[in-house]
Structure 1
Amino acid sequence: MKFARQRLLGRDLHFWLTRTGLDSAPLGRLLRTPPGQPVLDDGRYRAALAAGRPDRRPMFQHLDGDKATWSDGTTERLDALIPATGYRTDLPYLAGLGGAVDTSGRPRHRGGACPANPGLAFVGLEWQRSLSSNSLRGVGRDAERAARRLTSHMARA
């Protein structure tokens, strides 16, 4: 796991990525082996992992406003809740679509469009089109592009 500083020169890294245009530059198609995404950290996450004490919890049983209740009955007030649902692309169920995925279940695409299946598009993939494609900052931009492409495909069909 790679870590990157959350703040550079007094500003959040997202500010700099947006300001420089690196966040949305369509560089994904130019990268043969894209670099992995770092974990943005102010130092707390790295320290917690190094000490073997990250604050990881199983799924809560109930939410009520800003309070979560776990299966053991423990209730806690939350500042933020980040459900981690998994971040590895695993699409072997698309193997029957001929050319949609490779033998390991990874999508075959160009900027999210599936050349073998023009009615299929992917969004949220790492370096799909840009650095932010697999983040909340960039997935919307890629989803809009995919929707336009699919709408055009359907109009021609």
Structure 2
Amino acid sequence: MSRAEAARSIVVVGGGQAALAVGYFLARLRRDAAQGRRASAAEFELLESRPEGGGSWADMWPSLRLFSPSDFSSLPGMRMPQSREQTASAPEVVDYLRSYAECYELPVSYGEEVSQVSLTGDGAFQVDASGGSRRADAVVMATGTWGRPFVPSVTGADGFGGRQLHSREYAGPDEFQGMRVGVVGGGNSGAQIAADLQPSAQVTWVTRRKPRFLPDDVGGRELFAAATQQVEGRGRGVADLGDIVALPPVRAARDRGLRARWDLHSLTHAGARWNDGAVTPLDAVIWCTGFRPDLAPLRSLDLDRTAGAPRTRSDLATASANLPGLYFVGYGDWCGPASATLVGVGRVARATVADIGSSGGGARSNERAVTR
């Protein structure tokens, strides 16, 4: 049996944009096999913990919008419909992702919480999920980061007397009417949430350094071009242009006087203490401080790591360096430039599926210890 014939089953853990992009290319392999253009194609399944499609976009706050126009925010094979506004809202992205899965008849099993991925005695993978266990010759992790919010260690945070929440819990400005709210974070989520709150709350925007706004005339087309250059390994990446996209609501808030402070010393029971000793009273703090890869199901595997992230192959950034048949798609630049974006994930998904198709996923060659 050749290596290309070895991978009989593939499990994709996740059902959001990265998982769907991988599913698209796996479905294309299956179609090619059915039409006689290749000898065979593995069976595959996407396991999504949520009860329905849309990925983490279904949990975003109502005012969140894409940075890029629909033409530059599409997954492979299906263009996102034009938005009613300049860029698509989170609910519009959810509708698109659900339509995408239906259009390509991707085998997504919803409500399947994956608890563990482990190695079997013969080197294949066992994927334990709420609906039962699956054996897989290759596993693609596409769980994203939404399930693992990051909150930095800030002096006094444990003693703050008000409400604390992460941006993933933010549901809009209504519950903060008239309140004094600290928004911590100098990226896009911090700027957008501060702007969203500004008309109804007293906002104190806290960043680590002076916010870096992209020029106002840098819109979706320019971001798409920068992301493309980053994917192709030429030119500067999106992050080199700045940290914050000046979307219309953000520009409006800035023009109304929204400013950041980057001299936070600590939190007190009553609010924020600055380096000069002054205190700003706060009723709530929203941490817009990002996420980490949600890879808890891999805790029993002996993964080589670099700077906390699983080490990947030099020739394919999505492939585990020491566990053949294990892949990572959609977590950020460490597993492929722009792979955490709608516009960028298609390229790394295609390369990943090509590797699985040509090597059988390599799961049967695993000889590493299963547990630490």
TM range (shorter): 0.5 to 0.7
Gaps in structure 2 of 5+ consecutive residues: 1-185, 187-211, 261-289, 365-372
CA contact (8 A) 1:118 1:153 kept: no
Q: 1:152 aligns with which of 329, 354, 358?
A: 358
CA contact (8 A) 1:3 1:38 kept: yes
Which amino acid is the alignment partner of residue 25 of structure 1? E
Which amino acid is the alignment partner of residue 92 of structure 1? A
CA contact (8 A) 2:320 2:327 kept: yes
| Residue in 1 that maps onto 2:349 | 143
Q: CA deviation at 1:154?
A: 1.4
CA contact (8 A) 1:6 1:12 kept: no
Structure 2 residue 233 is matched with structure 1 residue 40: no
CA contact (8 A) 1:109 1:115 kept: yes
CA contact (8 A) 1:3 1:46 kept: no
Gaps in structure 1 of 5+ consecutive residues: 28-33, 53-85
| Residue in 2 that maps onto 1:129 | 336
Distance in 1 (alpha carbons) for counterparts of 2:325 and 2:355:
9
CA contact (8 A) 1:124 1:135 kept: yes
Q: 1:98 aligns with which of 302, 320, 326?
A: 302
Q: CA deviation at 1:14?
A: 2.7
Distance change (3 Å), C-alpha of 1:155 and 1:96: closer
Structure 2 residue 217 is matched with structure 1 residue 13: no
Q: 1:109 aligns with which of 293, 309, 312?
A: 312
Q: Which of structures 1 and 2 has the larger relative contact order (alpha carbons within 8 angstroms, sep 6+)?
A: 2
Distance in 2 (alpha carbons) for counterparts of 1:88 and 1:44:
27
Distance in 2 (alpha carbons) for counterparts of 1:92 and 1:47:
40
Distance change (3 Å), C-alpha of 1:122 and 1:11: closer
Q: 2:231 aligns with which of 24, 43, 51?
A: 24
Bigger Rg over Cα: 2
Moved over 4 A (4+): 46-49, 100-104
Distance in 1 (alpha carbons) for counterparts of 2:342 and 2:220:
19
| Residue in 1 that maps onto 2:157 | none
Distance in 2 (alpha carbons) for counterparts of 1:90 and 1:102:
16
TM norm structure 1? 0.52
Distance in 2 (alpha carbons) for counterparts of 1:24 and 1:102:
21
Distance change (3 Å), C-alpha of 1:117 and 1:46: farther
Q: For 1:141, what is the secondary structure of its paired residue? A: helix
Distance change (3 Å), C-alpha of 1:100 and 1:139: farther
Distance in 2 (alpha carbons) for counterparts of 1:43 and 1:114:
41
Which amino acid is the alignment partner of residue 12 of structure 1? R
TM norm structure 2? 0.25
Which amino acid is the alignment partner of residue 226 of structure 2? L
Distance change (3 Å), C-alpha of 1:6 and 1:22: farther
CA contact (8 A) 1:89 1:125 kept: yes
Distance in 2 (alpha carbons) for counterparts of 1:12 and 1:155:
36
Q: For 1:99, what is the secondary structure of its paired residue? A: coil
Distance in 2 (alpha carbons) for counterparts of 1:6 and 1:152:
45
Distance change (3 Å), C-alpha of 1:11 and 1:129: closer
Q: Identity rate of aligned residues, in percent?
A: 27
Q: For 1:41, what is the secondary structure of its paired residue? A: coil
RMSD of aligned alpha carbons = 3.7
Which amino acid is the alignment partner of residue 355 of structure 2? R
Aligned residues: 113
CA contact (8 A) 2:336 2:348 kept: yes
| Residue in 1 that maps onto 2:32 | none
